[in-house]
Amino acid sequence: MNFDRTKHSHCRYNPLKDEWILVSPQRLSRPWQGRVEDDKNDNDDDSDINSNEKPTNPLCPGAIRGKNNQQNPFYEHTYVFENDYPALLADIPDPKNDQNNNNDDLFQCHAARGVCKVMCFHPNSKLTLPRMTLDHISHIVKTWIEVYRDLASQYQWVQIFENRGDVMGCSNPHPHCQIWATDFLPNEARIKHRTQKDYFLKHNGNVLLLDYIKRELNDFNKERVVIDNEHWIVVVPYWAVWPYETMLLPKRHVLRLSDLSDEEQKGLGEIMKQLLIKYDNLFNTSFPYSMGWHGAPTGDLINEDCSYWQLHALYYPPLVRSATIKKFMVGFEMLAQVQRDITPEFAAETLRNLSGEIHYKDKKNT
C-alpha cells in the first residue's frame, strides 16, 4: 500500500506556530447527527435598517450608545471610537511586589495596559464587506492604517480583528471590526516573533513566509493558491487548521500594515473583496469567520531589527460541510492536537473554482 494524503491520516508541521496538525481525510464519509446551526447569516444586505430617524443599532450613524450615552456622528464611510466596554485599560497600577515576581516559575503576573477601539466599516448595518464598493473598501484599508500607525507609536502590539457572524460570537451584525493595542506581545505574536527569527537565523537571512509563498508558487503548481494579483496572494496554508482557512500576504517583503504602498493598498481592497465573495458563494450564505492582521511588533520594539517578519492576515471560518454545520474544537483537539478532515488542497481547489467577481445574491437579481 502506498501513502495517499487524500485518504490516509497524517500530521503536518506549522513552522509559524511550531505545532503539528492532524489531517484525517478518511473521516469525510462519517455521518453527521450532531448540532446543526440556524442559517441566520443569510441577511438581506440590500436593505438599510438605518433609514429610521432614531436608529436602534448602537453602531449606526446618529445612534446613542454606551454607558455615557454618546451619540455617533452621521458618518458616511468608516467610524472609529473607543470601545464602551473595553477588555484593556490604559492607566492601571502595577501589581504589588508579592504579586509581580517574575522569578517565580509557578505564579507570575504583570499589568496589562492597552486600548480597545471599534471601527465601523459602513453606515448600512446590513451591508457586508464583499458587497461593498471598492471605494468603500479602500476607506476601510486606509482607516486600518491610520489607526494602526497611531497606536503603533505607543504599544508593542496592535491587533486588528473582525468576527463576522453570530456563530463566531459577533455581538452586533453591523459591519465592523475591533482594534486592540497592548503594551505586551500576546501569545500568538510572541510565538511568531520567535519562530520567524529562528528561521531567519537558520536560513541565512531568508524570511519564512516569503520562502513559503515562493515555494507555493514555484514548487507545488499553485495547488493551495486560491487567488493572487500583482501585489497579493491568498493561500490555504499547508498547515491550515480550520476547514476553509486562508492566509493573505503581500508578495514583497512588508513588515507592517503601515508600510503598504498606495498600489498595494488598492490591490488589497480588490483581493479581499474577491476572497469574501468566494467565501459567501461557497454555501450561498454570509460566510462567518474570525480574521486578523499580524505584523512586526511596534511601540518600544519598533526600532529593533524585525526584518524576519512578514505581514499577513488570517481568515478562520468554522463552516465545514454546509451553511449549518461547523467545525468544533473539542476533545482530542483541546486536549492533544488540532485536527482537520478535508485536506488543505481540497479546500483551496474548492475556493479557487468559485466566482470571486459575482456574489450569489447578485446572480439572483440578474
Q: Collect the ranges in the chain with pLDDT lower than 50.
A: 32-33, 44, 47-53
Superfamily (CATH) of domain 45-364? HIT-like (3.30.428.10)
Between CA 211 and CA 203 the distance in angstroms is 10
Domain ranges of the chain: 45-364
Residue recorded with cell 467565501: 279
How high is the pLDDT of residue 162?
A: 95
pLDDT at 33: 47
Reference 344, options 243, 248, 274; nearest CA is 243
Q: What pLDDT is recorded for position 315?
A: 97
Using a 10 angstrom Cβ sphere, with 0-12 exposed, 13-18 middle and 19 or more buried, the burial of residue 86 is: middle
Burial tier of 49 (Cβ tally within 10 Å: 0-12, 13-18, 19+): middle
CA distances from 329 to 34, 151, 219, 247, 335 (A): 14, 33, 32, 20, 10
pLDDT single digits (tens) 72-98:
999 999 999 999 999 999 998 888 766
pLDDT at 49: 43
Check if 122 is active-site.
no
Q: Are 173 and 60 in contact (CB under 8 A)?
A: no
Q: Does the predicted model carry a pTM greater than 0.75? A: yes
Q: What is the pLDDT of residue 50?
A: 47
Note the pLDDT of residue 51.
47
Q: Crossing angle of helices 262-283/344-352, nearest 10°?
A: 100
Which residue among the candidates 139, 176, 231, 359 is catalytic per the annotation?
Answer: 176
